[in-house]
Chains A and B, each alone.
Chain A
Amino acid sequence: MKPAHIREGGGFGVLLALALGLVVLSFAVALATAIGDYRIPLLTVLHAVTNGLGLSTIEIPRIESSIVWDMRLSRALVAALAGAGLALCGAILQALLRNPLAEPFVLGVSAGASTGAVAVIILGIGAGGLSLSMGAFAGAFAAFALVALLSNGATSGPNHTILAGVAASQLFNALTSYIVTTSGSAQQARDVMFWLLGSFGGVRWPDFYLLLVVVTLGLALCLWIARSLDAFTFGDEDAAALGVPVARVRLLLFGLTALMTAAIVSMVGAIGFVGLVVPHVARYVVGPMHLRLLPACAVIGAVFMVLADIVSRVIVPQQTIPIGVVTALVGVPFFAIILYRGRPRT
């Protein structure tokens, strides 16, 4: 495969590509806001948004304004941030563990977060929205701790860590199923299952603000140490020889991925595949160096998730299918193409 590298010398080209990506993202968000069971013209969407931001006072039907501003826009933006965040987590974990399979889902972090959230919903440990997030956080960190423990602080080699992650996901998925089947009512079980596959239903502006802070901070931090991530190309020891404080960087980035994953999963459920597939796509487009790769991951992940959310709402009329189903159904063939084109030629 011959990736279309954008050389770092062409800083202008990178910024242009990034700007283009943001335009595409805005368009995708606008589409997500317009498309649905109740179709709204794009111009009305624009008016509703400028009204909502207080930039204009154009007369539009209240029902349309309300659908755009109170429901669909926040949903689309949360989808964008979740996609960006999961893709970032995937890129970071793949770099740190030097394994193309690494992502929060595979490492059991998503499963841990689900278990935590389900424990709160069904067992009623604590009460209210905050404790649901707290439960997901606790679960995500518990999963990370377990993986770290099983893999000796992720120092026993990439494959070992992935195996530890597989074990952790199995354990937490089993715990989740156990809680659901033993304690949940039929209705609860249905709700939980839907939520485990991911859903953007019911997200509102406060979710967006929280996620905006977490993902923005995460991206900023990642960009700050992007050079160090590059230094991991040949492993921990070479990174140390290149002057990277390996233990500190690793702790910081693992903590960050756990935080981002927990925030996302506690809001929209465990959405697989985005963290796995998007970094590979991004690498194919901008090359493997992280100063370009990470923003590209964020933009591509965001666009992908917003489009997937549109698909999940329109593919079956009057019904929304779980977002995780769409990301897998769309992502797998796409991934297969990349794998096929990138296969080693001997």
Chain B
Amino acid sequence: MSIIARNLTWGVRGRTIVSDVSLSVAPGETLGLIGPNGSGKSSLLRLLAGLRQPQSGGVEINGRDIARVPRRALAREMAFVRQDSATDTNVTVRDVVRLGRTPHRSALSGWTAADEQAVTMALERVDMISHRGQSWQTLSGGERQRVHIARALAQSPQVMFLDEPTNHLDIHHQIEILRLVRRLDLTSIIALHDLNLAAMFCDRILVLREGATVAFGTPRTVLTESLLREVFRVEAKVNGAERPHIVFCPGQEFGSGPTVRQWDDEPSGQGFRALPG
């Protein structure tokens, strides 16, 4: 399923968060969104998934404007995995994955064989089938994230959006989750923090700074030493032949410009909570 975004602009209270971003994703491709904190990765992801309406510009999926497609129909084609999505309710793993069938079921329709199959397959895909009766509250962070991905898979989507799916996971689980997403054979768009993971797992990468596109292309062409210095304000060496591998050099001074502050202090995960909508 192809995705085309044209001139997306979105902001809140006069502050522009996403500014004139255009992109296209081919069917089956994995696109990584990277950028410093507060660069608008999460907001762009939500605009692409139709969870927010852009102030101008639009998103097309297979040639249809998503603003004109009802929410439920959209949810049958694309799934969204949020970071740290949590609940206090005492639900089982199976209950959570069953939620993924919501857009496929009408108000009072029964649980069909197709629903059951989708749930079982999703659980198998993320290797959580043996945990299906377990309480969600007792799962580890990595297991929870896998269950969320299973829930998204149960929607039988063709496009998957993931917002920092590896947040708070140890390196083993980070790689495991991304390898899983790659294997899924879906069109996927992932907002990522870790540049090396983005380089390893994405076909193309879009770099954002202050809501605007800085670079868009293959990891090889995008992740250069000069871009890392300019956008991320770090000195680094980029090695590797096919896929770049970044070695950070924390000892060195920043090469260019006055170094005032390294990071905007947006507390991660709260960015969208403070905003209406």
- A interface with B by C-beta (< 8 Å): 1, 3, 5, 8-9, 11, 98, 100, 152, 155, 157, 223-228, 230-231, 233-235, 237-238, 240-245, 283, 287-289, 342, 344
* Residue in A231, A242, A283, A287 with the greatest tally of chain B CB atoms within 10 Å: A242
Q: Check B273–A231 contact: CB distance below 8 A.
A: no
Task: State the main secondary structure of chain A at its contact with B.
Answer: loop
A1: chain B residues at CB < 8 Å are 90
Q: Check A224–B107 contact: CB distance below 8 A.
A: yes
Contact A230-B103, Cβ < 8 Å, known A238-B82, A243-B76: no
Closest A-chain residue to B49, C-beta based? A241
Q: Check B88–A234 contact: CB distance below 8 A.
A: no
Expressed in whole angstroms, the Cα–Cα distance for A235 and B85 within the complex equals 8
Expressed in whole angstroms, the Cα–Cα distance for A1 and B135 within the complex equals 10
Q: Check A231–B90 contact: CB distance below 8 A.
A: no
Contact A243-B103, Cβ < 8 Å, known A152-B276, A155-B276: yes
Q: Check B95–A288 contact: CB distance below 8 A.
A: yes
Closest A-chain residue to B86, C-beta based? A234
Expressed in whole angstroms, the Cα–Cα distance for A5 and B93 within the complex equals 13
A342: chain B residues at CB < 8 Å are 90
Can you list 28 residue pairs at the A/B interface with Cβ under 8 Å? A1-B90, A11-B110, A98-B89, A155-B277, A157-B273, A223-B107, A228-B102, A230-B102, A234-B82, A234-B85, A234-B87, A234-B96, A235-B85, A237-B80, A238-B80, A238-B82, A241-B75, A241-B79, A241-B80, A242-B75, A242-B102, A242-B103, A243-B73, A243-B103, A245-B71, A283-B90, A288-B89, A288-B91
Expressed in whole angstroms, the Cα–Cα distance for A223 and B108 within the complex equals 8
Q: Check A244–B99 contact: CB distance below 8 A.
A: no
Interface contacts beyond A155-B276, A234-B86: sample of 19 additional A-B pairs, CB < 8 Å, sorted by A: A1-B90, A9-B111, A11-B110, A100-B88, A226-B107, A227-B102, A233-B87, A233-B96, A234-B87, A234-B99, A235-B85, A240-B71, A241-B49, A242-B102, A243-B71, A243-B72, A243-B103, A244-B72, A245-B70
Closest A-chain residue to B272, C-beta based? A237
B95: chain A residues at CB < 8 Å are 287-289
Q: Check A233–B80 contact: CB distance below 8 A.
A: no
Q: Check B107–A231 contact: CB distance below 8 A.
A: no
Q: Does B19 contact A (CB under 8 A)?
A: no
Closest B-chain residue to A8, C-beta based? B111
B71: chain A residues at CB < 8 Å are 240, 243-245
Which of B241-277 touch A at CB < 8 Å? 272-273, 276-277
Expressed in whole angstroms, the Cα–Cα distance for A240 and B276 within the complex equals 15
Q: Does B156 contact A (CB under 8 A)?
A: no
B46: chain A residues at CB < 8 Å are 237
A224: chain B residues at CB < 8 Å are 107-108
Q: Check B89–A233 contact: CB distance below 8 A.
A: yes
Q: Check B85–A238 contact: CB distance below 8 A.
A: yes
Q: Does B51 contact A (CB under 8 A)?
A: yes
A234: chain B residues at CB < 8 Å are 82, 85-87, 96, 99
Q: Does B74 contact A (CB under 8 A)?
A: yes
* Residue in A240, A241, A344 with the greatest tally of chain B CB atoms within 10 Å: A241
Closest B-chain residue to A231, C-beta based? B102
Expressed in whole angstroms, the Cα–Cα distance for A245 and B90 within the complex equals 24
Task: State the main secondary structure of chain B at its contact with A.
Answer: loop
Which of B87-122 touch A at CB < 8 Å? 87-92, 95-96, 99-100, 102-103, 105, 107-108, 110-111
Closest A-chain residue to B51, C-beta based? A240
Expressed in whole angstroms, the Cα–Cα distance for A52 and B107 within the complex equals 38
Which 4 pairs from chain A and chain B are nearest by CB? Answer: A243-B75, A243-B103, A241-B80, A243-B72
B90: chain A residues at CB < 8 Å are 1, 3, 283, 288, 342
* Residue in A238, A245, A342 with the greatest tally of chain B CB atoms within 10 Å: A238
Closest A-chain residue to B96, C-beta based? A233
Q: Check A241–B276 contact: CB distance below 8 A.
A: no
Q: Check B74–A243 contact: CB distance below 8 A.
A: yes
A98: chain B residues at CB < 8 Å are 87-89
A223: chain B residues at CB < 8 Å are 107-108
Expressed in whole angstroms, the Cα–Cα distance for A342 and B88 within the complex equals 12
Q: Check A230–B75 contact: CB distance below 8 A.
A: no
Min CB distance, B144 to chain A, in Å?
Answer: 10
Expressed in whole angstroms, the Cα–Cα distance for A243 and B74 within the complex equals 7
A227: chain B residues at CB < 8 Å are 102, 105, 107
Q: Does B155 contact A (CB under 8 A)?
A: yes
Closest B-chain residue to A342, C-beta based? B90
Expressed in whole angstroms, the Cα–Cα distance for A228 and B107 within the complex equals 9
Closest A-chain residue to B155, C-beta based? A242
Min CB distance, A29 to chain B, in Å?
Answer: 28
Expressed in whole angstroms, the Cα–Cα distance for A157 and B273 within the complex equals 8
B51: chain A residues at CB < 8 Å are 237, 240-241
Closest B-chain residue to A288, C-beta based? B89
Expressed in whole angstroms, the Cα–Cα distance for A285 and B107 within the complex equals 23
Expressed in whole angstroms, the Cα–Cα distance for A237 and B276 within the complex equals 12
Expressed in whole angstroms, the Cα–Cα distance for A155 and B108 within the complex equals 28
Expressed in whole angstroms, the Cα–Cα distance for A1 and B51 within the complex equals 36
Expressed in whole angstroms, the Cα–Cα distance for A223 and B106 within the complex equals 12
B277: chain A residues at CB < 8 Å are 155
B74: chain A residues at CB < 8 Å are 243
A3: chain B residues at CB < 8 Å are 90
